Structure 1
Amino acid sequence: MRNHRNLRQIFALPILVGILSTVGLVAALVGDGWWDGLSWTSLSLPVLLYFFFTIRRQATSRD
């Protein structure tokens, strides 16, 4: 039996990552200080997710 998902379930996390990336880009342009920390944190999320899912995929392909 297949697990069907609606559009909201499929696109919720990618939209959230896109919004956080946009916040990071705007924060990098707007100011200094804690804005820099916000931009680094939110812009590092896609990179960390990439590494997480790459490592996870390699681990499952070895099984």
Structure 2
Amino acid sequence: MSHASQSTRRIFAWPLLITLLGLAGLFAALLGDGGWDVLAWVGLGLPAALSLRALFGYRRA
């Protein structure tokens, strides 16, 4: 059985994106109120939602 290896960039693309979203959310939370709060919620909520989706094994019908 042959296994085609993937590039390092392709393997770490999603984890890097999730990390950057989380860091942006934390940074926005430190900056202020109003619009920054919205950015903080999005920046911290999306990684959490993606993690829960992966944890519970979401499958399309």
Residues matched between the structures, number: 58
SS in 1 for 2:3: coil
Q: In structure 1, the residue corresponding to 2:57 is in which secondary structure? A: helix
Name the amino acid aligned to 1:27.
Answer: A
Distance 1:38 1:12 in 2: 22
Q: Which runs of 5+ in 2 are unaligned?
A: none
| Paired-residue identity, % | 40
Query: Stretches of 4+ moved more than 2 A in 1?
Result: none
The TM-score, its normalising length taken from structure 1, stands at 0.80
The correspondence of residues 1-63 of structure 1 with structure 2, limited to 5 A, is 1-56=2-57
1:6 aligned partner, one-letter code: S
Q: TM-score, normalised by structure 2?
A: 0.82
Structure 1 unaligned blocks of 5 or more = none
Structure with greater helix share of residues: 1
The root-mean-square deviation of aligned C-alpha atoms, in Å, is: 1.6
